[in-house]
Chains A and B, each alone.
Chain A
């Protein structure tokens, strides 16, 4: 699951020319501050994650880090 999430994050980063990220993606990576994702990128990410896992990660509020995504999906 974690590998797939990282794959999707990387895809979104590539689509908006923000790839590769400054640091490797880890559970503590903050989506906005560390990976540079804006609202449009996050919206795109939620759709791909929902298509893959069937869960809308932003449904009940903000998700700030990659680790929080893992949590919502487990």
Chain B
């Protein structure tokens, strides 16, 4: 592994150096404003070209279909290409490229993942995107795993953190579980930021990764059991949760289950009817009302310091026969069963109840349990309406484009 390595792509074995990047930056005379890019390296180079030239760029998912593109307001063309002037002063060192990227005046458009209906366009500047990026000598040798979709907020946060310090990136987002596990060890990864679902799917009984120094969880509610498992598999890591969204960028970090609002933004955060509201001055675009509803339902632990716990998304509740079920709560209970490796709770439209609660379960290898037994166990701990009635054992859990458990 060269110290000037920019990227290793675990899904196809691509290795690229910063020198490879400089060559492209200094010689290419075009960039794509919209592109259904073929590989992560292509995506990265294109993004950097846009940033260096202060150009606009719109990030779309690699696997977007023509139909989806049309629904987002674009013609069925997957690309809009623009010319670039070649640089007079060639870039040959990391420091220059990093400074230019961090000071870019580009506008970057994201699409929300659209789990609640039609995806929205959200435009960010480097200023809002780098709010929590830390630069320094201490970070010089970090090796970052890219475990999020690069075209969404969380992925972008990690990419910018890595680029800001000239770190090596290891692209894991499209890799298989085996490739991921191997890469963590073989590529010397020190920092991982991913969804709880990602971690649960790669955690096995025995493998330990002593080189990893930092584990960050984001995008979904995590739980104490997962933190315990992570502490075992990543014995030398600090573990924390990050609160971020496409609309807001990154806002708070927690250690343990509770988030504490930093004093610097304390006056810009409040809770109303259990929903977290953020002052519109923290948004990167104009919002009509003063307070922006995040759609996150929280439980306030300490009112004075605004210490809170994330409960669920407002629209995540599943209506079963008139009762509202929090899928996270049911998942937590089922994950406690030693036989269960991962579970996904979702609703399926049903003529009798409106929605019937379903569970897809991945068992730990070599463990067996009958569906009847699961029902029995659940009856002891959950109210009737919270018990999933359709239980299936599967090999692979369904996740969204942003790596979270699908609720469909």
Contacts and interface: CB of A to CB of B under 8 A. Distances in A.
Interface of A: 14-17, 38-44, 46-47, 56, 58-59
Q: Is the interface of A mostly helix, strand, loop or mixed?
A: helix
Given A39-B321, A58-B352, A59-B351, A44 B389 contact: yes
B372 A43 contact: no
Contacts of A14: 372
Interface string B111-134: 000000000000000000000000
Contacts of B51: none
The size bracket of the interface on B is 10 to 19
Nearest to B352: A43
Contact of A40 (B348, B371, B376, B389): B389
A25 to B, nearest CB: 19
A17 B387 CA distance: 14
A15 B375 contact: yes
Nearest to B348: A47
Contacts of A44: 356, 389-390
Interface string B368-381: 00011001100100
29 contacts: A15-B371, A15-B372, A15-B375, A15-B389, A16-B375, A17-B376, A38-B384, A39-B321, A39-B352, A39-B353, A40-B353, A40-B384, A40-B385, A40-B387, A41-B389, A42-B352, A43-B321, A43-B350, A43-B353, A43-B389, A44-B389, A44-B390, A46-B352, A47-B350, A47-B356, A47-B389, A47-B390, A58-B352, A59-B351
Interface centre among A14, A40, A41 (most CB of B within 10 A): A40
Contacts of A43: 321, 350, 352-353, 356, 389
B358 to A, nearest CB: 8
